Amino acid sequence: MSQTPENGAILEWPAKYNEIPKEVFEREDLWPLELKNIFYGDEWHPIVHQSEIPNIGDYKAAELGEMPIFAVRGQDNKIRIFQNTCTHRGTTLVTESLGNKTEFECPYHRWLFSPEGDLVGCPNSREFTPGFDKKDFSLPTFRTEEFCGLYFITMSDTVAPLKEYLGENFYEPLSRILGGDGRLKFVGYQKVHYDCNWKAYCDNDGYHAPLLHLAFKMLNWQGGKGVQNVSENGHLSFESELKIPDDITALKDASILDFKGTTTSTGSIVQMQFPLTVYSKHMDMLNIRYAFPKGPKGIEVHYAYFTHEDDDDEMIAHRIRQSSNLLGPCGLISMEDASIFSRIDKGNKTPGMAIFQKGVKDEYQLELKVGQNDESGNLPRWEHYRKLMGFERAKS
Amino acid sequence: MSEIEPNVIFSIENLNRDYICALDKLDMNKWLACFNKQGTYTLISNENESNGFPIAFMLDDKYERLQDRVTQVTVIQEDSTEHYQTRHMTQLTSIVDLGNNQYQANYNFSIFYTQNLIEQSEILCVGRYEDIVLVENGASFIQRKAVIDTNVLPRYIAYPV
C-alpha cells in the first residue's frame, strides 16, 4: 500500500460525484488519517446534553476518536469536558459510563482533581521537580460550545463557531429536536455495536425510508410534504409532515404510533451532522444518537432519549413507550437500518463503486439543492470527506 | 425457596422451559402463549434499570403489544432481518410467594447466537429475568422482565429474549 510523505493514505476518487469507491469502507489504513483530519480536525462533536448529567458531580464518559473523555457538572453548576487521563502518568480517572463524584482521584499515586478540573492534591509534592506548580497540571479540556443544552467540543482552534459551522438550516430544526429551549429530561439509552465501518453507519439516505421500512407501508403511513437541506460541509437535515392514518389494522395497539405533538413539533425531523451524529424527532420521540467508531471496523451507537420538562405524566409515559418500541436496535421503524449497516459493509468487500442514483441530475456536478427523498443529499458529505482526506478526484 | 410447593416450582420451571424453547425454535405464537391476558414483557439494559431510566429495548406493556410483537417479528421485519439461532441457558435463582397464586420468580440467563450461514457462535446477552407468574391450571406470565448486563448489544435484536 503506497503512502504519501505525510503518512496519508492514497485513494483515487472517481470523476463522477455519484460514485463512491467501495474500498473506502474497508481500507484500514484510512483510519489514522480520518482520526487526524476529521475527528481531531475542524469539526464539532456533540458529547453530552445537560439533562444527562443533571446534578452537581454527575459525569458521563465518552470518546472523541480514540481519545477517552468525560463530561462533568462542577460545583459551580457548569459542565466541562475533559480528557479522561491523569495529568501525571496518564491513568484514566473515570472507568464507568455514568456516575457521580465530588472529586476524581487517580488510584495510582492518589492525585486528586476537582470536578472543575483543578489538581487539588498530589502526595509527596515537596519531592517533585523544583518548578512544580499544581496550576500547571489541571485536566486538559477542549474548546467547548453549548446549544440548547447540548455540549459540543472540537480540537480545532480554527473551525468556525458552532452555529456558523452548523448553519441555520441545521441548527433551527435541531433546536426543535432539543425541545425548543433545551429544557429536556433524559430518560435512558439504548446502546448497540454495529459491525460496520463508521461511514457505512452514517450513509443512510432519503431514498430508502418508504422502501426498506415495511412498517411504513403496512401501517399505511403516508409521507407528508417535506424538505432535505444539505450543506457544503456535509450536514443533512430532513423535515417532513407525518400523516398517521386513523385506522391502522396491522397493529392491535395503534396507540404506540400516536402523534400528540407540541408547539415545537412537526411530524418528523432527521438530521445527520458530519461526521457521524444523528438527531431525530419522529412523532413524539426526541433522540440523539451519539456514535463512537471502534477503529476502522465497528461502531458503537448510543441512542439517548428525552422527554421535555413541561410534559405531563401522560406525555412522559407516551414518549417512553414510543421510544422503547419504535426506534433503536430493536425498533419497529428502525431495526432494518441496523440490518443494512452490516449487510452494506459485507457487500462492499466487492470491487468497484457504490453508486448513488436518485436525485442525481449530472454525475459531474455537485448539487446542493436536493429533493426530500433523494439519496443525492449524501454526496456533499462524501465530497467534504474526500477533500478532508486529500484524495484527488480523477479527471472526467 | 424451601417453603414453595414442589408442584409450584415444577409449573414455573415448565413455563420457563416453554418460553425458552419457543424462542430457540423462533415460534412466536408459542412465545405469546406463555403470557396471560394481563401479561407484559420488557427488555431493558441494567444500566438504565439501575439508574432509574425507564427506556427499554422492548416495552410490551399490555397484551395487545405482545400480539404486535409477534406481527413485528413474523410479518413486518421478517424479510429484512439477518436471522440467527439462539440458545437460551437459564438458572432459577429464587421464588417468592406473593399470594393469590402469584409468584415472583427470578432467573439468570445467558443467550448464545449463531447467525445463519456464519458459523461462529457468540454471546447475545447475559442478564436476569424478573418474573411474576400466575400459577393456576399450569403457569403463565403476568410479567417477564429481562434485565441485561450486556449494556451494549453486540448486534441489533430482532426477537424477544
Q: What is the pLDDT of residue A221?
A: 67
Chain B hits for A347, Cβ within 8 Å = none
Is A248 near chain B, with CB under 8 Å? no
Report the pLDDT averaged over residues A81-104: 97
The C-alpha atoms of residue A142 and residue A161 are separated, in whole angstroms, by 13
Report the pLDDT averaged over residues A199-224: 77
Collapsing DSSP to helix, strand or coil, B71 comes out as: helix
Sheet holding B121-135, edge to edge: B58-60, B35-45, B139-148, B121-135, B102-115, B84-99
Look up residue B81 and give its DSSP letter. Answer: S
For chain B, the average pLDDT equals 95
Mutation site, A324, A342, A346, interface B, largest B CB count within 10 A = A324
Report the pLDDT averaged over residues A148-173: 97
The C-alpha atoms of residue A28 and residue A295 are separated, in whole angstroms, by 8
Chain A hits for B147, Cβ within 8 Å = none
Report the pLDDT averaged over residues A116-126: 96
The C-alpha atoms of residue A168 and residue A394 are separated, in whole angstroms, by 33
Report the pLDDT averaged over residues A232-245: 87
Chain A closest-CA separation from residue B41 CA (Å): 12
pLDDT for A274 beyond 70: yes
The dotted CATH code for B6-77+84-148 is 3.10.450.50
Q: Name the residue of chain A whose CA is nearest to B161's CA.
A: A330
Interface pTM (ipTM) of the complex?
0.95
The C-alpha atoms of residue A378 and residue A19 are separated, in whole angstroms, by 11
Q: Residue A214 — pLDDT band, cuts 50, 70, 90?
A: confident
The C-alpha atoms of residue B29 and residue B138 are separated, in whole angstroms, by 18
pLDDT in tens, A182-208: 999 999 999 999 999 999 998 887 778
Chain A hits for B64, Cβ within 8 Å = 251-253
Q: Residue A6 — pLDDT band, cuts 50, 70, 90?
A: low
Is A344 near chain B, with CB under 8 Å? no
Chain B hits for A218, Cβ within 8 Å = 75-76
Contact: B55, A251; criterion CB under 8 Å: no
Give the lowest-confidence range in A20-29, A172-181, A212-221, B74-83.
Answer: A212-221
Contact in structure between A191 and B152 (CB atoms under 8 Å) = yes
Q: What is the pLDDT of residue A268?
A: 87
Maximum Cα interatomic distance, chain A, rounded to a whole number of Å: 78
Q: Name the residue of chain A whose CA is nearest to B60's CA.
A: A325
> Grid cell 471502534 — which residue?
A294
Q: What is the pLDDT of residue A5?
A: 43
Pick from A264, A298, A279: nearest CA to A195:
A298
Q: What is the pLDDT of residue A222?
A: 63
pLDDT in tens, A331-344: 998 888 888 888 88
Q: Residue A346 — pLDDT band, cuts 50, 70, 90?
A: confident
Domains and CATH numbers, chain A: 12-41+181-396 (3.90.380.10), 45-150 (2.102.10.10)
Contact: A324, B47; criterion CB under 8 Å: no
Q: What is the pLDDT of residue B14?
A: 98
Q: Name the residue of chain A whose CA is nearest to B82's CA.
A: A339
Share of chain A above pLDDT 90, in %: 75
Which has more confidence, A123 or A225?
A123
Strands A184-194 and B152-153: parallel
Q: What is the pLDDT of residue A263?
A: 56
Q: What is the pLDDT of residue A192?
A: 96
For chain A, the average pLDDT equals 92
The C-alpha atoms of residue A283 and residue A272 are separated, in whole angstroms, by 18
Share of chain A above pLDDT 70, in %: 95
Give the lowest-confidence range in A167-181, A212-226, A228-242, B41-55.
Answer: A212-226
Contact: A253, B68; criterion CB under 8 Å: yes
Contact: A215, B64; criterion CB under 8 Å: no
Contact: A325, B59; criterion CB under 8 Å: yes
Report the pLDDT averaged over residues A277-287: 94
CA-derived radius of gyration, chain A: 22
Report the pLDDT averaged over residues A167-196: 95
Mutation site, B79, B81, B124, B153, interface A, largest A CB count within 10 A = B153
Q: Name the residue of chain A whose CA is nearest to B44's CA.
A: A190
Contact in structure between B131 and B5 (CB atoms under 8 Å) = no
Q: Name the residue of chain A whose CA is nearest to B42's CA.
A: A324
Q: What is the pLDDT of residue A241?
A: 82
pLDDT in tens, B84-139: 999 999 999 999 999 999 999 999 999 999 987 677 899 999 999 999 999 999 99
CA distances from A96 to A20, A93, A99, A336, B151 (A): 38, 10, 7, 30, 12
Q: What is the pLDDT of residue A336?
A: 81
| Residues of B engaging A, defined by a Cβ cutoff of 8 Å | 43, 45, 47-48, 51, 53-62, 64-65, 67-68, 71-72, 75-77, 79-82, 151-158
3-state secondary structure chain A: CCECCCCCECCCECCCCCEEEHHHHCCCCHHHHHHHHHHCCCCCEEEEEHHHCCCCCEEEEEEECCEEEEEEECCCCCEEEEECCCCCCCCCCCCCCEEECCCEECCCCCCEECCCCCEEECCCHHHCCCCCCHHHHCCCECEEEEECCEEEEECCCCCCCHHHHHCHHHHHHHHHHCCCCCCEEEEEEEEEEECCCHHHHCCCCCCCHHHHCHHHHHCCCEEEEEEEEECCCCCEEEEEEEECCCCCCCCCCHHHHCCCCCCCCCCEEEEEECCCEEEEEECCEEEEEEEEECCCCCEEEEEEEEEECCCCHHHHHHHHHHHHHHCHHHCCCCHHHHHHHHHHHHHCCCCCEEECCCCCCCCCCCCCEECCCCCHHHHHHHHHHHHHHCCCECCC
Mutation site, A96, A220, A253, interface B, largest B CB count within 10 A = A253
CA distances from A189 to A196, A324, B151 (A): 21, 10, 9
Q: Residue A262 — pLDDT band, cuts 50, 70, 90?
A: low
Chain A hits for B154, Cβ within 8 Å = 192-193
Sheet holding A369-370, edge to edge: A369-370, A222-230, A236-243, A268-273, A277-282, A285-293, A299-308, A184-194, B152-153
Give the lowest-confidence range in A139-148, A249-258, B61-70.
Answer: A249-258
Give the lowest-confidence range in A65-74, A185-194, A221-230, B82-91.
Answer: A221-230
pLDDT in tens, A308-334: 999 999 999 999 999 999 999 999 988
